Structures are given as C-alpha cells and as structure tokens.
C-alpha cells in the first residue's frame, strides 16, 4: 500500500465511525465471532508463518503463547460485553436533585495498532479484539521483522473483515511512522521505550491519546527464605520462554549474597529440565535476527571484558535433529544457549538496556533494603517478581516499589489474568488494557445529566442577594 492508499483507508474508517456512532451489541459480537473463526480455522497457517519468520519456533509454542491467550480474551470478552456496554447510573448530589445522571459508553472511533514481532499474532490481534469489542474501527500495522506473519494477517483480515471495519497495512519503519502520524481516536503501540517515545511524539501532533506497552528491566527478587529450586524453575520458564524475547521476562535477579552458587546450580538444572537440547529443539525459539543475536553477544562480551563472570548453560547433549524437524527453517544458528551473568555492574550495557534474550544477570544484595533501593534507582519496570514465604516481606516490597504489574512466587502469570489490567508505568509505558480495563481504554465515557422539570437551579442565578446567601448557608451545612 502506498502512503496515499493508507490515508485513503484511514479516511474510509474515519467516515464509517462517524456515520455509525453507536455500534449495537449484535454487531460487536458478530465481529468477535468472526475473529474467533479466523483463529480457529487458520491458526495452523499463522503458526507456520511465525515459524518461517523465526526460523525455529514450534507451532506448540505459538499455540500457548499466542492463540491460547487470544481464545481466552475472546471468551472473556464475549461473556461480559453486554454488561460492559450498559450505561452506568450515578448518584446525583443533593444540590442537583431531582436531576438524573449516567455515564454512556461509546466507541472512540478509529483505533490504530502498531504491534511488535516477538508474539506477532497475540500482540497484533489482542488490542484489535478489545477495540472491536468497544465498537471501534481498527487499522493494524504489524512488524516488518515478521513478514510472513504480517502477510498472512493482512490476507486473513481482508478475508474476514471489510476495510472500514478492520484492515492491516504492511511496511517498514517509515510506514509505521506514517501510521503513527494519522489522526486516530486512539493509538496503541507495543515495542521498545525508544520507539515508544517517537510514537508518542507523532501522536501528540494530533492530540491522539495513546496506550504505550513498552519494556524495561523487570527485576526478580528472591527472598532469603524461599525454595531456590522452585524459584529457579519458574524464573527459567519466564526467562527462556520464546528465548527471552518477552517484554515481561525477568530481566535480572536480585539474590541474597552467599547463595549465588546454589542459585546457579538450581537455574542450570531448571533450564536443562525445560530444554535438555537447544540446537534443533523447536520448543526453544531462535533469536529473531542475526542483528539481535549480535547485540546479545556484544553485551556479554562487554560484561566479561569489564569483569563479570559469564556462565553458559550447555545442553545435556547435542542430539541430531530428527527428520521431522527438517522443515523447521534455518534458525538453528540463532538458537542461543541460556546464560547467567554474575558480577554485572550498572555501567555495563547488560544492566542499562532491556536484554530481550536468554541472558540473566544475577545481582547479590546484603539486605532487602538494598534490593529495593536498586529497583527504585532505575526507571520503573513493566513487571516485578518476588519469591518468598513471608507475607509481611512481600507486602513491604509491594508498598515500596512501583511497577506495571507483579506476580508473586511465579513469573509472567499476571498477564494471563483477564480481570487484571496490563500496562506499564513511566518508562515502561502508560495505559492498560485486558478485560474491562481494555474495553474502557477504547471507550468514551460520556457524562449525561438529565435535568428535571422540578429543578431548583434558578436559586443559583443572579442577581445575587439575601435569598442566595440563605441558600448557600444551608448548602454549606450539608456539604
């Protein structure tokens, strides 16, 4: 699509949103059911496209990380949509009675979605599903780093939806910049903090409200009394899912000093339990591009040069790739083994940037206060994880830190809870969606007051005099 084509499609959606301001429940449900049919009937094709883009990422990984999340979102939304749409009556204060008041929930209009490459189906369609549920039109710009998936999404969306309902535009970063500059009624961006700043600046020109789902360095605090083996397994799962290419993956571990060796052994055992083989294992995703892999290797090399201890977790055995894996692509060379880094310092790149790979720095602390101070000295993270048995300590950490979300004694799981809003804070983003919070994010809550024929508003009209003073004195006693 040329820039003129993209602007033309946006104008079609804009005009359609103004021609049909109120979108009935039956229309919204029918759009969501079409989305469900798209996923159910064409999931294998989309999973194959994801595999082709990564080079090594099994359809089963895409099933649990993309499709399962989308199916859960669709089911939850369809069950609750009628209730979410209803106007909300609100109490009227005494001085405005007997007027009535309510909040009317309406679509904002046209929602733009710029989605990333790491979960290219889930993070493209989840905000689109929620925006459609709220009665909006949607324009999606998926990542250029997953071209096969983006092309399949474009073809399938065109098959199931009219352009004025939902469309996909493809292209590089210049196209993403063009999309960000369109006068949407709301714009959702998922990606890095650096690019998120550019998107926010482009949207600000049109006063377009934004939801920015960014990243950051999500810490994992291990308390002194926790079971290291259990914690290590859950941390390894959260860190190594999709080879660490997850926005809420544990970015580094804060560990009581003296337990480094025990944690290293527990983490190694956990990683090998999950992935006894790395090379040729379709469950262990490739790093998305050679450029991203080179960045990770440069981080490790710099950390090692500056004195950090780098421990590569070698697989149990380099088993030959079975014949049935022969068609899984060329991503074997980009499958990076898990790595632990001890002794990393704040001056190293590995502690300054979101890692987005299977590399886990481990930082020792003397007192819990030191761990909290370390977190608070840095930009607020998208997620925080705490492992321990003391509820008092847990609550103390929750009170003294700010993060987008938290999972206690596990990793990642808060994102799967449909009644918990998901979003960042500060450098990790703003705005939240999922469940009703997402519905409201893409909804205009219009305030309505219906005046009564018995209204006494004239008591407040000028000219002001003794009667006005009496009324105000009486109201002051009630307020």
Question: 242-297: per-residue pLDDT in tens?
Answer: 999 999 999 999 999 999 999 999 999 999 999 999 999 999 999 999 999 999 99
State the angle between helix axes of 25-54 and 147-160 in degrees (0 to 180), rounded to the nearest 10: 160
Q: List every span in the chain annotated with CATH 3.40.309.10.
A: 219-423
d(CA 318, CA 288): 22
Percentage of residues of the chain with pLDDT beyond 70: 97
Q: With the CA atoms of 403, 354, 191 and 383 taken in that order, what torsion angle do they form, in degrees rounded to the nearest 10? A: -20
Q: With the C-alpha atoms ordered 236, 242, 248, 252, is the resulting torsion angle positive or negative?
A: positive
In the numeric block, the tokens 């956990």 are attached to 270
How many C-alpha atoms does 93 have within 13 Å on its Cβ side? Answer: 6
Q: How far is CA 60 from CA 6, 41, 48, 56, 336, in A?
A: 34, 16, 11, 12, 19
The sheet that has 405-408: what strands, in order across it?
Answer: 309-312, 339-342, 359-365, 252-256, 219-222, 383-387, 405-408
| Structure confidence by residue, pLDDT tens digits, 352-408 | 999 999 999 999 999 999 999 999 999 999 999 999 999 999 999 999 999 999 999
| Structure confidence by residue, pLDDT tens digits, 421-452 | 999 999 999 999 899 999 999 999 999 999 99
d(CA 326, CA 338): 23
Helix (H, G, I), strand (E, B) or coil at 470: helix
- Return the beta strands (E) in 46-185 as ranges: 88-90, 100-107, 110-114, 137-141, 166-168
DSSP track, 10-62: HHHHHHHHHH--S--HHHHHHHHHHHHHHHHHHHHHHHHHHHHHHSS--HHHH
What is the structure's pLDDT at 478?
79
**Residue 156's pLDDT band (boundaries 50, 70, 90)?**
very high
DSSP tag of 75: H
Q: Lowest mean pLDDT: which of 3-17, 144-158, 320-334, 401-415?
A: 320-334
The sheet that has 137-141: what strands, in order across it?
Answer: 166-168, 137-141, 110-114, 186-190, 210-213, 429-430
For residues 197 and 191, the answer to whether their CB atoms sit within 8 Å is: no
Active site amino acids? 213, 247
Length of the chain equals 479
Higher pLDDT, 330 or 24: 24
**Residue 226's pLDDT band (boundaries 50, 70, 90)?**
very high
List beta partners, residue 104: 446
State the angle between helix axes of 68-85 and 122-133 in degrees (0 to 180), rounded to the nearest 10: 10
What is the structure's pLDDT at 326?
45
What is the structure's pLDDT at 121?
98
Q: Is 316 exposed, middle or buried (0-12, 13-18, 19+ CB in 10 A)?
A: exposed
d(CA 333, CA 292): 13
Question: Which pairs with CB-CB distance under 8 Å and at least 24 residues apart come from 82-87?
Answer: 82/25, 84/133, 84/436, 84/439, 84/440, 85/25, 85/28, 87/448
**Residue 477's pLDDT band (boundaries 50, 70, 90)?**
confident
Mean pLDDT, rounded, for 4-26: 97
Q: With the C-alpha atoms ordered 61, 66, 70, 72, is the resulting torsion angle positive or negative?
A: positive
pTM reported for the whole predicted model = 0.93
d(CA 318, CA 321): 9
Q: Average pLDDT of the chain? A: 94
d(CA 148, CA 138): 21
Mean pLDDT, rounded, for 134-148: 97
Q: Check whether 171 has a pLDDT greater than 90.
A: yes
Alpha helices (runs of H) in 55-98, residue ranges in sequence order: 59-62, 68-85
What is the structure's pLDDT at 320?
54
Superfamily of domain 219-423: Aldehyde Dehydrogenase; Chain A, domain 2 (3.40.309.10)
Looking only at the bridges linking them, the beta strands covering 309-312 and 339-342 are antiparallel
| Phi-psi category of residue 138: left, alpha or beta, with phi > 0 → left and psi -120 to 50 → alpha | beta
Please give the CATH architecture assigned to the domain spanning 3-214+432-444. 3-Layer(aba) Sandwich (3.40)
Q: How far is CA 66 from CA 34, 69, 71, 122, in A?
A: 17, 6, 9, 4
Mean pLDDT, rounded, for 140-159: 98
For residues 312 and 336, the answer to whether their CB atoms sit within 8 Å is: no
List beta partners, residue 448: 102
Q: Check whether 316 has a pLDDT greater than 90.
A: no
Mean pLDDT, rounded, for 26-33: 98
d(CA 48, CA 153): 12
What is the structure's pLDDT at 206?
97
């Amino acid at each position: 699509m040329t820039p003129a084509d993209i602007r033309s499609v946006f104008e079609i959606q804009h005009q359609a949103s103004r021609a049909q301001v109120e979108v009935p429940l039956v229309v919204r449900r029918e759009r969501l059911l079409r989305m469900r049919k798209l996923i159910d009937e064409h999931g294998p094709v989309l999973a194959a496209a994801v595999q082709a883009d990564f080079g090594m990422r099994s359809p089963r990984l895409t099933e649990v990380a993309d499709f399962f999340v989308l199916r859960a979102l669709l089911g939850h939304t369809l069950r609750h949509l009628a209730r979410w749409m209803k106007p909300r009556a609100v109490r009227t204060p005494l001085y405005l009675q007997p007027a009535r008041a309510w909040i009317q929930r309406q679509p904002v209009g046209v929602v733009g979605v710029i989605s990333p490459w790491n979960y290219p189906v889930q993070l493209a369609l989840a905000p689109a599903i929620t925006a459609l549920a709220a009665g909006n039109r949607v324009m999606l710009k998926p990542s250029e780093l997953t071209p096969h998936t983006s092309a399949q999404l474009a073809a399938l969306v065109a098959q199931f939806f009219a352009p004025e309902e939902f469309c996909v535009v493809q292209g590089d970063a210049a196209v993403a910049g063009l999309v960000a500059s369109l006068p949407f009624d709301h714009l959702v961006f998922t990606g890095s903090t650096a690019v998120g700043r550019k998107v926010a600046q482009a949207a600000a020109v049109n006063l377009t409200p934004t939801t920015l789902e960014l990243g950051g360095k999500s810490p994992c605090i291990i308390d002194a009394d926790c079971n290291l083996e259990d914690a290590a397994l859950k941390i390894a799962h959260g860190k190594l899912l999709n080879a660490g290419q997850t926005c809420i993956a544990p970015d580094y571990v804060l560990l009581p000093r003296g337990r480094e060796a025990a944690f290293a052994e527990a983490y190694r055992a956990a990683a090998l339990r999950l992935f006894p083989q790395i090379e040729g294992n379709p469950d262990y995703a490739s790093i998305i591009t050679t450029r991203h892999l080179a960045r990770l290797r440069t981080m490790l090399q710099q950390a090692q040069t500056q004195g950090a201890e780098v421990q590569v977790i070698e697989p149990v055995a380099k088993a030959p790739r079975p014949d049935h894996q022969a068609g899984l692509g060329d991503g074997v060379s980009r499958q990076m083994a898990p790595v632990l880094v001890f002794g990393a310092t704040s001056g190293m790149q590995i502690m300054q940037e979101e890692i987005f790979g299977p590399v886990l720095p481990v930082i020792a602390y003397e007192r819990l206060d030191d761990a909290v101070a370390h977190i608070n000295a840095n930009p607020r993270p998208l997620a925080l994880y705490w492992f321990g048995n003391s509820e008092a300590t847990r609550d103390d950490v929750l009170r003294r830190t700010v993060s987008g979300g938290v999972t206690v004694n596990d990793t990642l799981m808060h994102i799967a809870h449909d009644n918990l809003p998901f979003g960042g804070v500060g450098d990790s983003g703003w705005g939240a969606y999922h469940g009703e919070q997402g519905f409201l994010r893409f909804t205009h809550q219009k305030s309505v007051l219906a005046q009564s024929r018995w209204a006494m508003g004239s008591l407040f009209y000028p000219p002001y005099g003794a009667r006005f003073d009496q009324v105000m004195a009486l109201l002051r006693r009630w307020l």
